[in-house]
Amino acid sequence: MIRLVSIALAVAGIGLACQALAADVDMSKLTCKEVGDMPAAKTIGVAMWVNGYVHGKAGNPMVDGDMAHANAEKITAYCKSNANSTLADAIEAVAKS
């Protein structure tokens, strides 16, 4: 059952992400402030990208919704304190902590 819920969330999220990030975005240059200024639908797409990026670098094809949410909260907290930091720097800082 948990697996089906995860799959349903992933499919729904992909649909939202595709609509939210219709324009090309250079994720390596995206700042925390820019993410904070985005509408909620776009931040969902960014959060999904971050989760996929981190899992891809680790070679881990599994998705843990609770862990992804916890990591998104950590990145959000980092970004609130470091608005001019890039999202990539925020991910790296959170990964080291």
30-41 in b/e burial notation, b at 16+ Cβ within 10 A? Answer: bbbebbeebeee
Per-residue model confidence as pLDDT tens digits over 75-92: 889 999 999 999 989 988
Q: What angle do CA 78, 6, 26 make, to 5 degrees?
A: 45
Q: What range defines the domain where residue 79 resides?
A: 2-96
- Taking 80 as the threshold, does the pLDDT of residue 3 lie above it? no
pLDDT at 10 > cutoff 60: no
If you average pLDDT over residues 35-39, what whole number do you get?
A: 88
Residue 23, domain CATH: 1.10.890
**pLDDT, tens digit, for every residue of 45-78?**
888 888 888 888 888 888 888 888 888 888 889 9
- pTM recorded for the entire structure: 0.65
Q: How many domains is the chain built from?
A: 1
